[in-house]
Structure 1
């Protein structure tokens, strides 16, 4: 195993600024992301305000359905006492969703271990599952390799309602057929059979997006003691009752400060990551598993399309008596997280860092400061075949990211192309157009109204010429296939869908190649939280 580090490819302007010059973003964040900030946070933050016993009980109850390891039990006990947490979260994708979910969990675990040793206090890794999210189209698919091309394979069942992930259920037969198709797309290895059997076993009794996700994540990380909790878990919602009431009472001020702060981000040239509105309530109302975003209109909390309308008093009553009927949005979720957990650091992806930048004054409204926002570890894994191809073709991984590899592939194709062939076909087309034009004029001169027939006949000729041109191109490319396939295999591995590997592939695809010990191997890598992209050669 070899580790290399590179400047983040494909970073947005705001993310790049955060990684390289966060000091100049001080108007958007309370602290930088370094050891000094972590030291200060653990000394100055008020970690006595949290309902530790109730929170520990909620996590214990939630995780007991999936199995609590000895290390997880230790972490729950430390959380109940005086531990602080490193926390990160993600949507509940099928088979964990893209690899960055796994990388986020690795980041949470790694930073917690490092800070436990550095700070000398219990630091606990927590993964917050966004089971309250209802955009199922974001999580209902994986990408598979089919005929040397990536195909988006979507779980086929369509729901008429947009239920939250924690209540969106799979049809048992359909999901098994769907998983079977995924595994059929994988090359058969020593690990395939057992991997598939294990996944299907995890599926038993876990037929919602969130429960299936939780079962898999617990399977992968339980020996590290990663604590898991679903944001939509009803006992957690009950614990959050007081905090929902605070958010409701201050909803008007909250909307105002977020709107104004986001305008400052826009003035700096970084756009509007939240697209906040001054009328926003920044809360959802949940009914029969569906979420409805509320706005404040004439002192009411409303969702006009659904005909939902609540007074302030009614909203407060819902928060007191039925907090499970409320759900956070992108603004109030970070605030709720801070109210519920004693957070030392939040592991954030590029998009999260962008929208957290709009929340500084929102935290201040509730007399809180943001935790240390640590950029998550991003990883690309280079297998032996890809390493060999890179060496044979004399390319680096940076050449893949910056487009040099594809440029070289096109140059190779064009340098072998006989340019006379397409030129001749174009000449034939031009000649036909000219001759048919003359024919049409002669017919019109003789009073024969056959222009539609002439044009139809010309189009038939053009169609046949296009057909033969495509056949020539396909045959030509097939002749070069042995070489172009090398370029394509590198791109498929390292830059699928023209982006980082971690945004497309699931861990199952890599575990099928490397075996169940892959996660353990990845956890042993000496990562640095330095904003670099980590490339691991296996």
Structure 2
């Protein structure tokens, strides 16, 4: 299976913040612990071993076993869960929302990056065990972000009443989606497998967390993936000390605000802003912010309130009613898991960079941060078409207008590139400026105005000629544009738009093994695969 790669910076789809991190820019070092290199995991293991509460392992393993009670999984996954009891076992974690039918394709890329890193670490450090973990974002309440997936340009959406943590949502209404996809997927073995997965996950399970766990397990259990739902009473009990500190000392607000100032001073964008209290209160159809007003702790948009002592007593008795927001969730993860590395997308990495000072204030080891694999998947037919049209991989990543203009220039018999003429024109006006400066400076304004007019006219002529050539070469341009539209739907990266079902219909059970065999999580480049 042919593979190629392009640098993340050259794709133009990733922020300079992330690209600078991949280039190990010295000015970013203060925002992370260790760079993701195999040799650095030795020191991460040592630090996590010394800081991780050994008693947590037993609770974590017991709760995972309970969560897997009613799900058929692989022997490798069961072994991985049991191995967490051992002090020489560590996790590599990725997290993702509970998107309907996995949502965008990068759900697969995240988990495969995680699985493949555990394999690489086991080879490098054979005396330790490394477990791939998928952290389900079951406590999120952004239902509009997860209630659909795209299939061949169509948005397949689950409509239901919103409210509360999405993992607790019942699966009512998803039979309608089953009927839609049964018609869309068509016949054939691969289509039938997709429909079976959807039916078993969403029709035969009572809530979205269980449905998502089933589907992720069906796709990845043979690789030993362990799926965790942290909306769990006993796991949250382990996090009570940190939640107390958050409520009483506003730790996250103080530390993250200070880090944000440092990031902004570098001219970089802030991904998230901390609140005074970064905890939600969970109830039936409820997930609302906890506020401190007029000497009382209150739940936003409700009549619920406590004194400080009442709140601390409630936290101790019912920790399951408290939920971390985006600022505090990573800390919760690292408190309960023997974790070495978090794998996420560019947006996730950006907000993790804001959090290191909060981890230090809470005496919790900050994990290594690794950008997940990003992938463009082509069929052999698409790859052959690309080769026949002499389109480079770099050209495919161009924005549509630049892609078409470059294509026109490439296949046209006429060289419609006025950059040389523009440069010559600018040289002439530079000489005229010098002449006017020596003779009569009052003419400088007239020279500048004429220069702008001439340059504008030349660029306008170039555009008109390009437009004429586009019309003349319309058929060839259409073929090239069609290919880019297939690989970059809606002018976006394939992995951010396309659902895995489209590719599974094409490649079937070979899809995940092909990706697993091709992706190197530590390579640091955007991968292009032909299957």
Alignment deviations for residues 178-208 of structure 1 (CA, whole Å, 9 cap, x no partner): 2332343346554212332333133343243
Instruction: Return the offset for 1:85.
Output: 0.7
Q: Give the corresponding residue for 1:19.
A: 22
Instruction: Return the offset for 1:503.
Output: 0.7
CA 535–320 in structure 1, closer or farther in 2 if over 3 Å, else same = same
**Is 1:141 matched up with 2:134?**
no
Alignment deviations for residues 90-143 of structure 1 (CA, whole Å, 9 cap, x no partner): 001111111111111101111111112212211111110000000010001111
Instruction: Return the offset for 1:312.
Output: 2.6
CA 162–482 in structure 1, closer or farther in 2 if over 3 Å, else same = farther
Count of residue correspondences: 466
Aligned counterpart for 1:62 among listed residues 67, 76, 84: 67
Contact 2:35–2:368 (8 Å) recurs in 1: yes
Aligned counterpart for 1:78 among listed residues 65, 74, 83: 83
Q: Give the corresponding residue for 2:376.
A: 380
Cα separation, 2, equivalents of 1:490 and 1:86: 37
Instruction: Return the offset for 1:13.
Output: 1.8
Contact 1:244–1:323 (8 Å) recurs in 2: no
Cα separation, 2, equivalents of 1:509 and 1:43: 43
Unpaired runs of 5+ residues, structure 2, are 414-469
SS at match of 1:281: coil
Q: Give the corresponding residue for 1:129.
A: 136
**Is 1:306 matched up with 2:302?**
yes
Instruction: Return the offset for 1:225.
Output: 0.9
Alignment deviations for residues 398-448 of structure 1 (CA, whole Å, 9 cap, x no partner): 212113434467889999xxxxxxxxxxxxxxxxxxxxxxxxxxxxxxxxx
Cα separation, 1, equivalents of 2:308 and 2:525: 47
Aligned counterpart for 1:49 among listed residues 42, 48, 53: 53
Contact 2:38–2:124 (8 Å) recurs in 1: no
Contact 1:281–1:301 (8 Å) recurs in 2: no
Q: Give the corresponding residue for 1:521.
A: 514
CA 163–351 in structure 1, closer or farther in 2 if over 3 Å, else same = same
Aligned counterpart for 2:488 among listed residues 491, 495, 519: 495
**Length-normalised TM-score, structure 2:** 0.82
Q: Residues 91-106 of structure 1 correspond to what in structure 2 (within 5 A)?
A: 91-106=97-112
**Is 1:163 matched up with 2:164?**
yes
**Is 1:5 matched up with 2:8?**
no
Aligned counterpart for 1:275 among listed residues 268, 273, 277: 273
Aligned counterpart for 2:256 among listed residues 230, 255, 258: 258
Contact 1:99–1:507 (8 Å) recurs in 2: yes
Q: Give the corresponding residue for 1:434.
A: none
Q: Give the corresponding residue for 1:470.
A: none
SS at match of 1:200: helix
Aligned counterpart for 1:90 among listed residues 96, 103, 113: 96
Mean alpha-carbon deviation: is it higher for 290-299 or for 8-17? 290-299
**Is 1:504 matched up with 2:497?**
yes
Instruction: Return the offset for 1:506.
Output: 1.6
Cα separation, 2, equivalents of 1:135 and 1:13: 27
Alignment deviations for residues 444-500 of structure 1 (CA, whole Å, 9 cap, x no partner): xxxxxxxxxxxxxxxxxxxxxxxxxxxxxxxx99x9997565334422332112221
Contact 1:343–1:371 (8 Å) recurs in 2: yes
Alignment deviations for residues 199-241 of structure 1 (CA, whole Å, 9 cap, x no partner): 3133343243322221110001111111001122344334444
SS at match of 2:24: helix
Contact 2:278–2:328 (8 Å) recurs in 1: yes
Contact 1:94–1:140 (8 Å) recurs in 2: yes
Instruction: Return the offset for 1:299.
Output: 4.4
Structure 1 ranges of 4+ moved more than 6 A: 409-415, 479-482
Cα separation, 1, equivalents of 2:398 and 2:411: 19
CA 385–179 in structure 1, closer or farther in 2 if over 3 Å, else same = farther
Contact 1:47–1:342 (8 Å) recurs in 2: no
Alignment deviations for residues 484-535 of structure 1 (CA, whole Å, 9 cap, x no partner): 6533442233211222111111212111110123112211225141321111
SS at match of 1:142: strand
CA 81–376 in structure 1, closer or farther in 2 if over 3 Å, else same = same
CA 247–309 in structure 1, closer or farther in 2 if over 3 Å, else same = same
Cα separation, 2, equivalents of 1:298 and 1:367: 31
Cα separation, 2, equivalents of 1:115 and 1:301: 45
Q: Give the corresponding residue for 1:357.
A: 353
Q: Give the corresponding residue for 2:121.
A: 115
Q: Give the corresponding residue for 1:233.
A: 232
Instruction: Return the offset for 1:324.
Output: 1.1
CA 52–386 in structure 1, closer or farther in 2 if over 3 Å, else same = same
CA 230–331 in structure 1, closer or farther in 2 if over 3 Å, else same = same
